[in-house]
Amino acid sequence: DGGITQSPKYLFRKEGQNVTLSCEQNLNHDAMYWYRQDPGQGLRLIYYSQIVNDFQKGDIAEGYSVSREKKESFPLTVTSAQKNPTAFYLCASSTRANEQFFGPGTRLTVL
């Protein structure tokens, strides 16, 4: 089955700790994205990557970092510099027509 997987589904961390969220796709898409969603809000773009070894900041990149060493993988690290990291994180990949396919999301709670 082709699709996008994110793990874990729920993640709890202590304040001040870095945490890495996983995102893998087997759709052979070049472009991948990370979004953040807060309760009752729309999605906000954190980072995106159009091709391996290249990525660009989105609207809210501060406190986050990414890497794109393989086409299939686009992990997101939430660093201790992110002031309010508790949120629902969504990863997506897209076709050339920008039709985006989303993973199931990771709900991060910082205690």
Partner 1 sequence: DAKTTQPNSMESNEEEPVHLPCNHSTISGTDYIHWYRQLPSQGPEYVIHGLTSNVNNRMASLAIAEDRKSSTLILHRATLRDAAVYYCIQSRKLIWGLGTSLAVNP
- The binding site for partner 1 (CB under 8 A) comprises 4, 33, 35, 40-45, 48, 58-59, 88, 90, 92, 97-105, 107
By C-beta, is 6 or 82 nearer to partner 1? 6
Element (H, E) at 95: none
Please, which residue, 8 or 104, has the CB nearer to partner 1? 104
The CB-of-16 to partner 1 minimum distance in angstroms stands at 27
CB-based contacts of 94, cutoff 8 Å, min separation 6: 29, 31, 32, 33, 100, 101
Both structure tokens of 13: 């961390």
State the maximum Cα–Cα separation within the chain, in Å, rounded to a whole number. Answer: 40
Is the CB of 8 or the CB of 18 nearer to partner 1?
8
